[in-house]
Amino acid sequence: MVSGKRRRLVEANVNLDLSYITDRVIGMSFPAYSTVEKLYRNNIENVADFFDERHNESYMIYNMSNRNVEVQYFHHNVVSYPWEDHHSPTLPILL
């Protein structure tokens, strides 16, 4: 309901607010950990299951937010480049 008319990945047992940009690049917002966030964001458990099933635990998560990812959900395959939401990254982070 919250994502409105944006594209979602909706297949058999998957309904996630994410998009394949290429076969190897997926874009999505930060996943939800709390009950309230799960009302309008992808559930972290569902996202982790999706990556494990579809990408055979062979993936890397690039966290481009100012929030900490609980890396154990993704087998520690996480690299973080933190910057403030709705702002441009600093030049060193961008490079």
Torsion angle of C-alpha atoms 1, 51, 59, 34, degrees rounded to 10? 60
Higher pLDDT, 64 or 85: 64
Q: How confident is the model at residue 4 (pLDDT cuts 50, 70, 90)?
A: low
Phi/psi region, residue 17 (left: phi>0; alpha: psi -120 to 50; beta: rest), is beta
pTM over 0.85? The answer is no
Domain boundaries in the chain? 9-84
In whole angstroms, how far apart are CA 41 and each of 17, 34, 37, 44, 94?
8, 10, 6, 9, 26
What CATH number does domain 9-84 carry, 1.10.520.20, 3.40.50.720, 3.20.20.70, 3.90.190.10? 3.90.190.10
Q: Is the pLDDT of residue 13 over 90?
A: no
